Structure 1
């Protein structure tokens, strides 16, 4: 399965990082670049339950391809969510169901950043995406 352009860019950037500290900085930068969600979208209906931090997610279907937007009150989680969005935006519902979250973060060299609770939270975000995609 081919990767969305943003995912390819993320992989190139993170795999070129010199070490853990540089990847951690990149993670924060990705989070900072995440477009802000409007307060209208930050409602309980869009909140992803199962995350320790607050995460909101909205999605829309354009010509059979899903586009998601998300935000979090935690900077590190914003970075991880931004990288998840890079991986999934533009996918069809079928492709979305095939996304392997641990493998994606492993390829980025960020597995050690995924504590069990963060991993569960990101899985909850991906699960919510799949629910929205029906």
Structure 2
């Protein structure tokens, strides 16, 4: 089950018919995020497998999942914002059960991202799932 924040993004995408408008919207979501503190941009938070620099700082708050992230690529910052909407504030035990590919398919992202961006997105999702499973 998707979060209310993710459902809002799905609704926005349904309203935006043109993919270029959707792409711009993803970038705007990334611009709206607070930047990750430079002290958190360390090898332990860096996500390998991404074409750009990507950092995910995962810090569950109690039994709720939470992460922040950043990237040097605006579209990737936007993808991080989408993933935050999908995962943040979900019970940690529920995170591994979220079918991110199915949820993201509702946004029709796969057909509009380069293979490198798609691989990076998969790497971010895997980091999220692995960290939640280990918590």
TM-score scaled to structure 2, two decimals?
Answer: 0.90
RMSD between superposed Cα atoms in Å: 1.4
Stretches of 4+ aligned residues off by more than 4 angstroms? none
User: Any conservation in 2 of the 1:101–1:123 contact (CA below 8 Å)?
Assistant: no
Structure 2 gaps of 5+ residues are none
The answer to whether the 8 Å contact 2:56/2:68 transfers is yes
Structure 2 residue aligned with 1:62: 61
| Paired residue secondary structure (2:59) | strand
CA drift of 1:99 comes to: 2.3
2:128: which partner in 1?
A: 129
Contact 1:93 1:130 in 2 (8 A): no
Question: Counterparts of 2:100 and 2:116 in 1: how far apart (Å)?
Answer: 14
Shift of 1:93: 2.9
Question: Distance between the aligned counterparts of 2:130 and 2:110, measured in 1?
Answer: 25
Normalised by the length of structure 1, the TM-score is: 0.90
Distance 2:73 2:67 in 1: 18
